[in-house]
């Protein structure tokens, strides 16, 4: 891991095609400008974590009967298993 101190207007390069520039910085954080090719996704870390949680939830399988019971009884489908 590389740790740098940068001031507003300063930046860094990652490889040949990604440039990160500090737009503004204060004690509360920094505003960054990221210039990267469109085929490289740039995501905030918390969004990636939320996407992982959503993928895990979508991967869970429930039987249709369990879903119908849960829908009409307003209970969690996992709690309706016998």
Q: What is the pLDDT of residues 9-40, one digit of tens each?
A: 999 999 999 999 999 999 889 999 999 999 99
What is the pTM (predicted TM-score) of this model?
0.57
Choose between 71 and 45: higher pLDDT.
45
- Mean pLDDT for 75-79 is 55
DSSP category for residue 8: T
Provide the terminal-to-terminal Cα distance of the chain, rounded to the nearest Å.
Answer: 50
- Mean pLDDT for 51-76 is 70
Nearest to 24 by CA among 39, 11, 42: 11
């Amino acid at each position: 891991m590389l740790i740098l101190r940068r001031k507003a207007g300063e930046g860094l390069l990652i490889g040949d095609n990604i440039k990160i520039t500090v737009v503004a910085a204060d004690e509360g954080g920094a505003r960054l400008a990221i210039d990267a090719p469109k085929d490289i996704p740039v995501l905030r870390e918390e969004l990636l974590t939320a996407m992982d949680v959503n993928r895990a939830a979508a991967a869970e399988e429930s039987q249709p009967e369990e879903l119908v019971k849960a829908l009409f009884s307003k209970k969690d489908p996992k709690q309706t298993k016998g």
